[in-house]
Amino acid sequence: MRKIAFMFPGQGSQIVGMGKQLADADENIKSYFERADQRLGYSLSNLIFEGPQSDLTLTTNTQPALLTTSMAILSYFKRSGIEPDYVAGHSLGEYTALVAAKAISFEDAVYAVRKRGEFMEAAVPHGEGTMAAILGLDREKLGVVTANVTDEGHSVQLANLNCPGQIVISGTKKGVELAGIQAKEAGAKRVLPLEVSGPFHSQLMKPAAEKLQAVLDDITLQDAAVPVIANVTAEEMIAASEIKTRLIEQLYSPVLWEDTVRKMLENGVDTFIEIGPGKVLSGLVKKIDRSATIFAISDEDSINKAIEGLKEASR
């Protein structure tokens, strides 16, 4: 029997106008954007639909914007009656996965990720931390590189283990620069500096994690209705107490995305549906297992194609 996973994207997938077609066509979908506006006290929806892109890309705006848009798309898609066996999200996307799994309310999640973005921005002075994608080097060799640079007194670590041959490192500007040089010497094909505002998923985010804990302490978390594969462990989590712990750890720990996908594959998942703007996660799953069935849905057309594709596959 077919097993389905819903996946939710993180920062980098945002684009002005995302979700607008569905919101314009359906009042129930539009209500997600209105509820986000009300909870945050400003017009997030106008920023999502009209831009400018420079403001939408600010971490404090991007996080609630992506969560809101992905939930609106999910709400439309779920009218098909298709339900997941597992859910997972990349970094910020883990919060969307938890809303989908009924572990946290939509309004609380929108508020939490807005604050999360603020804390991440404030944790390290602007320009002191950064991230870079390392292509063509396995995690063991890259782990040795980052350990060497750390031993030399510069903070850097593995941050996003996305798929074979694609790992993001994070740390101080000097630490990432030195690790990039040593990674090339160790056989990496390319080192791509990322346009980010801080060293996310590194130990430098611990001050943000402490502040986030206070926010999550004031929010009601419930046991998940469907297993969520955690970024931090690549294992199933359901209990509310564990969810809170993992969300705090996630800020300064690597996102084990390749391991997350492999866990779902091991558990029998053969169909992955990316819910939100872009196709980043779909591309990563393809690199992990080319035999998986993958759909990326972001508008009415792609949703209808996915539903038809799933019906065809089950015949």
Which residue is catalytic, options 45, 75, 154, 201?
A: 201
For the chain, give the DSSP string: ---EEEEE--TT---TTTTHHHHHH-HHHHHHHHHHHHHHTS-HHHHHHH--HHHHTSHHHHHHHHHHHHHHHHHHHGGG----SEEEESTTHHHHHHHHTTSS-HHHHHHHHHHHHHHHHHHS-TTSEEEEEEES--HHHHHHHHHHHHHTT--EEEEEEEETTEEEEEEEHHHHHHHHHHHHHTT-SEEEE---SS-TTSGGGHHHHHHHHHHHHTS-----SS-EE-TTTSSEE--HHHHHHHHHHHTTS-B-HHHHHHHHHHTT--EEEEESSSSHHHHHHHHH-TTSEEEEE-SHHHHHHHHHHHHHHH-
Determine whether 91 is an active site residue: yes
Which residue is catalytic, options 13, 91, 105, 253?
A: 91
Determine whether 201 is an active site residue: yes
Residues annotated as catalytic (active site), given as ranges: 91, 201
